Amino acid sequence: MTRSTRFMLLLLISLISLGCRTESGTNVGDRDKLTVCLLPKIKGIPYFTSCHTGAQEAAAELGDIELIYDGPIDGDPKEQAELIEQWIVDGVDVICIAPNAPLVVANAMKEARTAGIHVITWDADGVPESRSFFVNQATPESIGRGMVDVMIADVGPDQEGDVVIISSDATSANQNSWIDAMKPAIEESKLTLQTIKYPGENAANALADAQDLIKVYPNLKGIFGISSVSFPGAAEAVRQASKSGEIKVTGLAVPSEMKSYVDDGTVNSVVLWNTKDLGYLTVQVAKALAEGRLTDSDTSLNAGRLGEIQIEGDNVLLGDVMVFNKDNIDSF
Protein backbone atom coordinates (compact mmCIF):
# COMPACT_ATOMS: atom_id res chain seq x y z
CA MET A 1 0.00 0.00 0.00
CA THR A 2 1.42 3.38 -0.99
CA ARG A 3 1.64 6.24 1.49
CA SER A 4 -0.97 8.25 -0.44
CA THR A 5 -3.39 5.28 -0.45
CA ARG A 6 -2.86 4.75 3.27
CA PHE A 7 -3.56 8.43 3.90
CA MET A 8 -6.81 8.33 1.91
CA LEU A 9 -7.95 5.36 4.00
CA LEU A 10 -7.04 7.19 7.20
CA LEU A 11 -8.94 10.25 6.04
CA LEU A 12 -12.00 8.21 5.07
CA ILE A 13 -12.08 6.52 8.48
CA SER A 14 -11.75 9.90 10.16
CA LEU A 15 -14.63 11.41 8.19
CA ILE A 16 -16.92 8.43 8.77
CA SER A 17 -16.27 8.20 12.50
CA LEU A 18 -16.11 11.86 13.40
CA GLY A 19 -18.17 13.67 10.80
CA CYS A 20 -17.17 16.64 8.71
CA ARG A 21 -14.83 19.30 10.11
CA THR A 22 -15.15 23.05 9.83
CA GLU A 23 -12.40 25.13 8.18
CA SER A 24 -11.14 26.06 11.63
CA GLY A 25 -10.42 22.37 12.32
CA THR A 26 -13.11 21.95 15.01
CA ASN A 27 -15.43 18.96 14.66
CA VAL A 28 -19.06 19.69 13.87
CA GLY A 29 -21.17 18.21 16.65
CA ASP A 30 -21.52 18.56 20.36
CA ARG A 31 -17.82 18.36 21.30
CA ASP A 32 -17.16 21.33 23.53
CA LYS A 33 -13.38 20.98 23.87
CA LEU A 34 -10.52 21.46 21.45
CA THR A 35 -8.18 18.48 21.28
CA VAL A 36 -4.59 19.74 21.25
CA CYS A 37 -1.73 17.26 20.82
CA LEU A 38 1.71 18.22 22.13
CA LEU A 39 4.44 16.14 20.46
CA PRO A 40 7.99 16.57 21.86
CA LYS A 41 11.25 15.45 20.27
CA ILE A 42 11.70 12.94 23.04
CA LYS A 43 9.47 12.04 25.96
CA GLY A 44 10.72 11.58 29.50
CA ILE A 45 13.57 14.11 29.76
CA PRO A 46 13.35 17.12 32.12
CA TYR A 47 13.34 19.75 29.36
CA PHE A 48 10.20 18.50 27.63
CA THR A 49 8.58 17.47 30.91
CA SER A 50 8.86 21.10 31.99
CA CYS A 51 7.33 22.26 28.70
CA HIS A 52 4.46 19.83 29.29
CA THR A 53 3.86 21.32 32.73
CA GLY A 54 3.46 24.76 31.17
CA ALA A 55 1.13 23.37 28.53
CA GLN A 56 -1.02 21.77 31.23
CA GLU A 57 -1.21 25.13 33.00
CA ALA A 58 -2.49 26.83 29.84
CA ALA A 59 -5.02 24.05 29.18
CA ALA A 60 -6.38 24.31 32.74
CA GLU A 61 -6.53 28.09 32.55
CA LEU A 62 -8.36 28.10 29.20
CA GLY A 63 -10.73 25.38 30.40
CA ASP A 64 -11.86 24.08 27.02
CA ILE A 65 -8.70 22.22 25.98
CA GLU A 66 -8.22 18.47 26.01
CA LEU A 67 -4.42 18.17 26.04
CA ILE A 68 -2.73 15.02 24.74
CA TYR A 69 1.01 14.69 25.40
CA ASP A 70 2.91 11.89 23.71
CA GLY A 71 6.15 11.26 21.85
CA PRO A 72 9.00 8.84 21.22
CA ILE A 73 11.10 7.82 24.20
CA ASP A 74 14.21 7.52 22.02
CA GLY A 75 13.79 10.56 19.78
CA ASP A 76 12.88 8.50 16.69
CA PRO A 77 11.29 10.87 14.12
CA LYS A 78 9.53 7.94 12.44
CA GLU A 79 7.57 7.44 15.65
CA GLN A 80 6.64 11.13 15.54
CA ALA A 81 5.24 10.62 12.04
CA GLU A 82 3.29 7.54 13.17
CA LEU A 83 1.73 9.48 16.04
CA ILE A 84 0.64 12.23 13.65
CA GLU A 85 -0.97 9.67 11.37
CA GLN A 86 -2.83 8.16 14.33
CA TRP A 87 -4.05 11.60 15.39
CA ILE A 88 -5.35 12.17 11.86
CA VAL A 89 -7.54 9.10 12.33
CA ASP A 90 -8.60 10.34 15.78
CA GLY A 91 -9.68 13.67 14.29
CA VAL A 92 -7.87 15.95 16.70
CA ASP A 93 -8.01 19.71 16.28
CA VAL A 94 -4.40 20.87 16.60
CA ILE A 95 -1.04 19.09 16.45
CA CYS A 96 1.95 20.89 17.98
CA ILE A 97 5.21 19.16 17.07
CA ALA A 98 8.87 19.71 17.92
CA PRO A 99 10.36 17.90 14.90
CA ASN A 100 13.48 15.82 15.45
CA ALA A 101 14.04 15.48 11.71
CA PRO A 102 11.85 17.93 9.73
CA LEU A 103 12.03 16.05 6.42
CA VAL A 104 10.99 12.75 8.03
CA VAL A 105 7.78 14.17 9.51
CA ALA A 106 6.93 16.73 6.81
CA ASN A 107 4.61 14.46 4.80
CA ALA A 108 2.62 13.40 7.86
CA MET A 109 2.30 17.05 8.91
CA LYS A 110 1.05 18.00 5.44
CA GLU A 111 -1.44 15.13 5.51
CA ALA A 112 -2.79 16.40 8.82
CA ARG A 113 -3.31 19.86 7.35
CA THR A 114 -5.07 18.34 4.33
CA ALA A 115 -7.39 16.56 6.77
CA GLY A 116 -8.35 19.93 8.30
CA ILE A 117 -6.11 19.70 11.37
CA HIS A 118 -4.07 22.73 12.38
CA VAL A 119 -0.35 22.04 12.64
CA ILE A 120 2.20 24.22 14.39
CA THR A 121 5.80 23.63 15.40
CA TRP A 122 7.38 24.54 18.72
CA ASP A 123 10.91 24.36 20.18
CA ALA A 124 12.23 23.27 16.75
CA ASP A 125 10.89 24.30 13.37
CA GLY A 126 9.93 22.05 10.49
CA VAL A 127 9.47 22.44 6.76
CA PRO A 128 7.61 25.79 6.52
CA GLU A 129 4.83 24.55 4.23
CA SER A 130 4.06 21.70 6.63
CA ARG A 131 2.84 24.01 9.43
CA SER A 132 1.07 27.31 10.04
CA PHE A 133 3.24 28.89 12.74
CA PHE A 134 6.43 28.19 14.66
CA VAL A 135 6.35 28.94 18.40
CA ASN A 136 9.96 30.09 18.70
CA GLN A 137 11.63 30.25 22.11
CA ALA A 138 14.12 32.87 20.84
CA THR A 139 15.83 33.76 17.60
CA PRO A 140 18.74 31.53 16.51
CA GLU A 141 20.98 34.57 16.62
CA SER A 142 20.18 35.37 20.25
CA ILE A 143 20.60 31.73 21.31
CA GLY A 144 23.80 31.05 19.36
CA ARG A 145 25.55 34.30 20.19
CA GLY A 146 24.24 34.14 23.73
CA MET A 147 26.07 30.86 24.33
CA VAL A 148 29.27 32.20 22.78
CA ASP A 149 29.11 35.39 24.87
CA VAL A 150 28.75 33.28 28.02
CA MET A 151 31.70 31.07 27.04
CA ILE A 152 33.93 34.08 26.33
CA ALA A 153 33.01 35.59 29.70
CA ASP A 154 33.70 32.27 31.47
CA VAL A 155 37.02 31.59 29.74
CA GLY A 156 38.14 35.23 29.75
CA PRO A 157 37.93 37.65 26.79
CA ASP A 158 41.70 37.60 26.19
CA GLN A 159 42.12 33.83 26.44
CA GLU A 160 43.07 31.79 23.38
CA GLY A 161 42.30 28.11 23.02
CA ASP A 162 40.11 25.43 21.50
CA VAL A 163 36.39 24.93 21.92
CA VAL A 164 34.10 22.15 20.69
CA ILE A 165 30.36 21.78 20.21
CA ILE A 166 28.33 18.72 21.21
CA SER A 167 24.91 18.91 19.56
CA SER A 168 22.18 16.27 19.29
CA ASP A 169 21.18 14.80 15.90
CA ALA A 170 22.77 16.14 12.73
CA THR A 171 19.23 16.63 11.38
CA SER A 172 18.02 18.81 14.29
CA ALA A 173 16.94 22.05 12.66
CA ASN A 174 17.10 24.21 15.78
CA GLN A 175 20.56 23.07 16.87
CA ASN A 176 21.85 23.57 13.32
CA SER A 177 20.48 27.12 13.23
CA TRP A 178 22.17 27.90 16.54
CA ILE A 179 25.46 26.49 15.26
CA ASP A 180 25.17 28.74 12.20
CA ALA A 181 24.96 31.71 14.57
CA MET A 182 27.73 30.42 16.85
CA LYS A 183 30.39 29.94 14.17
CA PRO A 184 30.87 33.62 13.19
CA ALA A 185 30.65 34.68 16.84
CA ILE A 186 33.45 32.24 17.74
CA GLU A 187 35.51 33.45 14.77
CA GLU A 188 35.27 36.99 16.12
CA SER A 189 36.79 35.82 19.43
CA LYS A 190 40.22 34.41 20.25
CA LEU A 191 38.78 30.91 20.52
CA THR A 192 39.02 28.26 17.80
CA LEU A 193 36.19 25.86 17.01
CA GLN A 194 37.77 22.45 16.42
CA THR A 195 34.86 20.08 15.83
CA ILE A 196 31.15 19.36 16.25
CA LYS A 197 29.85 16.06 17.58
CA TYR A 198 26.37 14.59 17.09
CA PRO A 199 25.57 12.00 19.80
CA GLY A 200 21.82 12.15 19.18
CA GLU A 201 19.44 12.40 22.12
CA ASN A 202 21.58 9.91 24.03
CA ALA A 203 23.18 10.85 27.36
CA ALA A 204 25.72 8.00 27.31
CA ASN A 205 26.89 8.96 23.82
CA ALA A 206 27.19 12.62 24.82
CA LEU A 207 29.30 11.68 27.84
CA ALA A 208 31.54 9.43 25.70
CA ASP A 209 31.98 12.13 23.04
CA ALA A 210 32.98 14.69 25.66
CA GLN A 211 35.45 12.27 27.24
CA ASP A 212 37.06 11.64 23.86
CA LEU A 213 37.31 15.36 23.07
CA ILE A 214 39.03 16.08 26.39
CA LYS A 215 41.70 13.52 25.43
CA VAL A 216 42.07 14.64 21.80
CA TYR A 217 42.45 18.41 22.40
CA PRO A 218 45.05 19.21 25.09
CA ASN A 219 44.41 22.94 24.68
CA LEU A 220 40.67 22.58 25.14
CA LYS A 221 39.22 25.60 26.93
CA GLY A 222 35.52 25.06 26.53
CA ILE A 223 32.74 22.65 25.58
CA PHE A 224 29.34 23.80 24.33
CA GLY A 225 26.55 21.31 25.08
CA ILE A 226 23.72 22.68 22.97
CA SER A 227 20.98 20.23 23.92
CA SER A 228 19.42 19.30 27.23
CA VAL A 229 21.09 15.89 26.87
CA SER A 230 24.56 16.87 25.64
CA PHE A 231 25.11 19.65 28.20
CA PRO A 232 24.83 17.40 31.29
CA GLY A 233 26.93 14.77 29.50
CA ALA A 234 29.70 17.29 28.78
CA ALA A 235 29.62 18.61 32.36
CA GLU A 236 29.84 15.09 33.77
CA ALA A 237 32.84 14.31 31.57
CA VAL A 238 34.69 17.40 32.80
CA ARG A 239 33.82 16.58 36.41
CA GLN A 240 35.02 12.99 36.05
CA ALA A 241 38.26 14.18 34.43
CA SER A 242 38.87 16.48 37.44
CA LYS A 243 39.07 19.45 35.08
CA SER A 244 36.31 21.57 36.62
CA GLY A 245 37.33 25.20 36.25
CA GLU A 246 40.06 24.31 33.76
CA ILE A 247 37.66 23.40 30.93
CA LYS A 248 34.57 25.60 30.88
CA VAL A 249 31.24 24.05 29.99
CA THR A 250 28.14 25.94 28.98
CA GLY A 251 25.04 25.31 26.91
CA LEU A 252 21.32 24.69 27.04
CA ALA A 253 19.56 22.63 29.71
CA VAL A 254 16.94 22.86 32.42
CA PRO A 255 18.52 24.77 35.38
CA SER A 256 17.46 22.16 37.94
CA GLU A 257 19.32 19.46 36.00
CA MET A 258 22.54 21.53 36.00
CA LYS A 259 22.37 22.83 39.58
CA SER A 260 24.87 20.35 41.05
CA TYR A 261 27.39 21.23 38.34
CA VAL A 262 26.92 24.94 39.05
CA ASP A 263 27.24 24.37 42.79
CA ASP A 264 30.58 22.53 42.47
CA GLY A 265 32.05 24.94 39.90
CA THR A 266 32.03 22.61 36.91
CA VAL A 267 29.57 24.98 35.19
CA ASN A 268 29.48 28.75 35.63
CA SER A 269 26.50 29.59 33.47
CA VAL A 270 23.45 27.83 32.03
CA VAL A 271 21.69 29.36 29.02
CA LEU A 272 18.01 28.69 28.41
CA TRP A 273 14.55 30.21 28.25
CA ASN A 274 11.57 29.61 30.48
CA THR A 275 10.56 26.13 29.36
CA LYS A 276 7.22 26.21 31.17
CA ASP A 277 6.39 29.43 29.36
CA LEU A 278 7.24 27.77 26.03
CA GLY A 279 4.73 24.98 26.65
CA TYR A 280 2.18 27.50 27.94
CA LEU A 281 2.55 29.72 24.86
CA THR A 282 2.27 26.76 22.50
CA VAL A 283 -1.18 25.85 23.83
CA GLN A 284 -2.26 29.51 23.73
CA VAL A 285 -1.23 29.68 20.06
CA ALA A 286 -2.98 26.39 19.31
CA LYS A 287 -6.28 27.65 20.70
CA ALA A 288 -6.05 31.04 18.99
CA LEU A 289 -5.30 29.39 15.65
CA ALA A 290 -8.14 26.85 15.96
CA GLU A 291 -10.61 29.61 16.82
CA GLY A 292 -9.50 31.84 13.93
CA ARG A 293 -8.05 34.52 16.23
CA LEU A 294 -4.55 34.09 14.78
CA THR A 295 -3.94 34.86 11.11
CA ASP A 296 -0.97 35.34 8.80
CA SER A 297 -1.27 39.12 9.05
CA ASP A 298 -1.12 39.34 12.86
CA THR A 299 1.94 40.94 14.47
CA SER A 300 1.07 40.11 18.08
CA LEU A 301 -1.02 37.77 20.21
CA ASN A 302 -2.47 38.16 23.67
CA ALA A 303 -1.26 34.99 25.39
CA GLY A 304 -2.82 34.84 28.85
CA ARG A 305 -0.39 35.53 31.71
CA LEU A 306 2.43 36.17 29.20
CA GLY A 307 0.64 39.25 27.93
CA GLU A 308 1.21 40.56 24.41
CA ILE A 309 3.58 38.29 22.47
CA GLN A 310 5.28 39.50 19.29
CA ILE A 311 4.89 37.72 15.96
CA GLU A 312 7.46 38.09 13.19
CA GLY A 313 6.19 36.59 9.96
CA ASP A 314 5.13 33.06 10.92
CA ASN A 315 7.24 32.97 14.10
CA VAL A 316 5.53 33.54 17.46
CA LEU A 317 8.38 34.73 19.69
CA LEU A 318 8.51 33.77 23.35
CA GLY A 319 11.32 36.21 24.12
CA ASP A 320 15.05 36.26 24.76
CA VAL A 321 17.39 33.79 26.40
CA MET A 322 18.07 33.73 30.14
CA VAL A 323 21.39 33.03 31.89
CA PHE A 324 21.40 31.04 35.14
CA ASN A 325 24.32 30.97 37.58
CA LYS A 326 24.95 30.59 41.31
CA ASP A 327 23.17 33.87 41.98
CA ASN A 328 19.79 32.90 40.52
CA ILE A 329 19.65 29.17 39.73
CA ASP A 330 17.86 28.32 43.00
CA SER A 331 14.94 30.49 41.86
CA PHE A 332 14.26 28.29 38.86
Q: Which residues contact 146 (CB under 8 A, 6 or more apart)?
A: 138, 271, 321, 323
Q: Let me know if 45 is exposed, middle or buried by CB neighbors in 10 A (0-12, 13-18, 19+).
A: buried
- The answer to whether residues 226 and 254 touch, using CB atoms and an 8 Å cutoff, is no
Which pairing describes strands 315-317 and 322-324: parallel, antiparallel, or unpaired?
A: unpaired
Domain covering 3-137+275-319, topology: Rossmann fold (3.40.50)
* Spatial CB neighbours of 270, under 8 Å, sequence gap ≥ 6: 231, 250, 251, 252, 253, 255, 258, 262, 323, 324, 325, 329
Neighbours of 292 (CB within 10 A): 12
Distance CA 126, CA 124 (A): 7
What is the CATH T-level fold of the domain 140-272, as seen in this structure? Rossmann fold (3.40.50)
Measure the CA dihedral 302/306/308/312, to 10°: -100
CATH 3.40.50.2300 location in the chain: 3-137+275-319, 140-272
> Which positions ≥6 away from 164 have C-beta within 8 Å?
193, 194, 195, 196, 197, 213, 217, 220, 222, 223, 224
Helix ranges (DSSP H) in 115-202: 140-155, 173-187
Gap between the terminal Cα atoms of the chain: 50
154 Ramachandran zone, left/alpha/beta (phi>0; psi -120 to 50): alpha
Q: How many CB atoms lie within 10 A of CB 204?
A: 10
Q: In a structure prediction context, what are the per-residue pLDDT tens digits for the chain, which is 332 residues long?
A: 444 445 444 444 444 444 433 333 334 233 689 999 999 999 999 999 999 999 999 999 999 999 999 999 999 999 999 999 999 999 999 999 999 999 999 999 999 999 999 999 999 999 999 999 999 999 999 999 999 999 999 999 999 999 999 999 999 989 999 999 999 999 999 999 999 999 998 999 999 999 999 999 999 999 999 999 999 999 999 999 999 999 999 999 999 999 999 999 999 999 999 999 999 999 999 999 999 999 999 999 999 999 999 999 999 999 989 999 999 998 87
User: CB–CB of 98/74 below 8 Å?
Assistant: no
